Amino acid sequence: MAPARDRRTGFSRRRQYGVFMGYVLAVAGAVVGLVLLVASTFNPPAFSALRMGVAGVTAPVSTGLATVGSGIAGIPEAIGQYFFVKQENVALRADRDRTRALLMRARTIAYDNRRLRSLLAIRDRAAEPVVTARLVSSSASSGRRYALLNAGRWSGVKPGMPVRGPDGLIGRVVETGPNAARVLLLSDGDSIVPVRRTRDGLPAIAAGRGDGMVDIRSVNATNVRFNAGDLFVTTGTGGIYGPGVPVARVAKAGSDSVMARTFADPDTLDFALVENVFMPVPPPRPIAQQ
């Protein structure tokens, strides 16, 4: 029976040097990683340029992977729509007939509102869109909640711009690179958005929890009762977000501070709209020379 091959380094200097260098590289990598972790914890802005540089390189790859993933995920839905399109058409026609009266009433109210606004000379300031970009990734498992857009300074994206999806507000841009931007999500612990309740205009604050949800906190009042299902939209206060953008829905009834779920889920979104700041800060007035 042939003896088993000896896997120890033995007296081979080449193997000894190889094992030694492997240990040295492993220890050096661990030390460098620890130093970078400590530095990023105590001084996050120092790594902003490095982060956005890496994001600019990885954004095209993430865009391709997101496109392929969304295409594969849409195959079952397309098959289901193909087989059940007749039933869906029947249901849509029935809904149309039921809501026709409500639609006519809504059109009448909208016409009256436009006429009254023209009589009162009221001007609505709407946020202007900058670019439509793809959300290629989001941090769903870390303590911080960010998302990555595949559009940056080349597309006119600047820090502070609000980002929204088809269902509601997503967050705001905090960092930009040439072709990528980092978005602070509503659920992040540093996110605070002034909101109001749709049914009575009650002012409140939507503060991120860091776990995918937000807290709705009352302002200027105590013992405020929140009901499950209460809807909250932006107020326009602060000048960043335009008024009337859906933000969150209360998940469970409570008083003063309750937990709510955001309308826009970054993990299920493909595209997002970047808008200009609702009320930009005016430039400083020039100092008159003496």
pLDDT of residue 258: 93
Distance (Å, rounded) from C-alpha 49 to C-alpha 181? 12
pLDDT at 194 over 90: yes
- The answer to whether residues 235 and 243 touch, using CB atoms and an 8 Å cutoff, is yes
- The answer to whether residues 161 and 279 touch, using CB atoms and an 8 Å cutoff, is no
**Exposed, middle or buried by CB within 10 Å (0-12, 13-18, 19+), for 192?**
middle
Which residues touch 151 (CB under 8 Å, ≥6 apart)?
A: 131, 133, 157, 179, 180, 181, 274
Q: Which H or E run includes 25?
A: helix 13-42
Maximum pairwise Cα distance, the chain:
104
Averaged pLDDT for residues 28-44: 71
- Cα–Cα distances (Å) from 63 to 72, 73, 145, 185, in that order, read 14, 15, 19, 19
Banded pLDDT at 8 (limits 50, 70, 90): low
pLDDT at 81 over 50: yes
Banded pLDDT at 1 (limits 50, 70, 90): very low
- The answer to whether residues 150 and 59 touch, using CB atoms and an 8 Å cutoff, is yes
The verdict on domain 192-263 having CATH code 3.30.470.20 is no
Output the average pLDDT for the chain.
78
Q: Domain locations in the chain? A: 62-120, 192-263
* DSSP per-residue codes, 91-148: HHHHHHHHHHHHHHHHHHHHHHHHHHHHHHT----PPPEEEEEEEEEE-SSSSS-EEE
Q: What's the predicted TM-score (pTM) here?
A: 0.60
pLDDT of residue 233: 92
The more confident residue out of 12 and 290 is: 12
pLDDT tens-place string over residues 242-284 = 888 899 999 999 888 899 999 888 777 778 889 988 877 666 6
- The answer to whether residues 245 and 164 touch, using CB atoms and an 8 Å cutoff, is yes
